[in-house]
């Protein structure tokens, strides 16, 4: 079923933050934490250090009223920089690819850091920034993110 989540980016302390949020909201993770070492090898994917391999690729936690927060670690080794504006993304999880494409096309402002929705190993995914500077993610998972 379609839903909206809030996606949070951290510079290496996602697990710490989400363990704190777990206590605050008195809930459990929606699925086990997925780490960067769990990503299937992709063509052209750079080799990660052992430290980076243990960083969080994805975590999800229910909060209030069915709203879920999700998070990931940004990697300094990959040139990621956390700034106000790229630390929060609204994640739209529509029911099908056509709706994801429609939403992307209507929200994108042609930003160079936009990624049109496309197939990934976990599902159909893309991201963009709108003309107001708000970051949006489009995600349709094939299956729950579990090991």
Please give the sequence-ordered ranges of beta strands (E in DSSP) within the chain, or none if there are none: 3-10, 34-35, 56-62, 68-73, 88-93, 115-119, 123-129, 135-141
Q: What letter would DSSP give residue 33? A: P
pLDDT at 143: 63
Q: How confident is the model over 83-140, as pLDDT tens digits? A: 777 788 899 989 999 999 999 998 887 767 799 999 999 899 999 988 877 889 999 9
Pairwise CA distance, residues 85 & 136, whole Å: 11
Pairwise CA distance, residues 110 & 105, whole Å: 9
Rounded to the nearest integer, the mean pLDDT of the chain is 88
Pairwise CA distance, residues 31 & 17, whole Å: 16
Residue with more model confidence, 64 or 56: 56
pLDDT at 88: 87
Pairwise CA distance, residues 35 & 48, whole Å: 12
For residue 146, what pLDDT band results from cuts at 50, 70 and 90?
very low
Mean pLDDT of 3-21: 92
Give 3-141's CATH code, choosing from 3.50.50.60, 1.20.1250.20, 3.10.180.10, 1.10.287.130: 3.10.180.10
Residue 49 pLDDT > 50 = yes
Q: pTM (2 decimals)?
A: 0.73
Domain ranges of the chain: 3-141
Q: Report the candidate in 14, 123, 114, 124 with the shortest Cα–Cα distance to residue 69.
A: 14
pLDDT at 47: 84
Q: Report the candidate in 141, 146, 145, 147 with the shortest Cα–Cα distance to residue 1.
A: 141
């Amino acid at each position: 079923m379609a839903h909206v989540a809030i996606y949070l980016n951290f510079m290496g302390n996602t697990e710490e933050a989400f363990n704190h949020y777990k206590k605050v909201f008195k809930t459990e993770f929606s699925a086990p934490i997925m780490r960067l070492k769990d990503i299937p090898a992709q063509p052209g994917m750079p080799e990660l250090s052992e430290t980076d391999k243990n960083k969080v690729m994805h975590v999800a936690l229910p909060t209030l009223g069915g709203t879920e927060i999700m998070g990931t670690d940004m990697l300094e080794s990959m040139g990621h920089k956390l700034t106000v504006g790229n630390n929060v993304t609204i994640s739209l999880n529509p029911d099908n690819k056509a709706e994801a494409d429609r939403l992307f096309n209507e929200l994108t402002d042609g930003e160079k850091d936009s990624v049109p929705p496309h197939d990934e190993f976990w599902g159909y995914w893309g991201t963009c920034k709108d003309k107001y500077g708000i970051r949006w993610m489009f995600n349709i998972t094939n299956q729950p993110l579990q090991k």
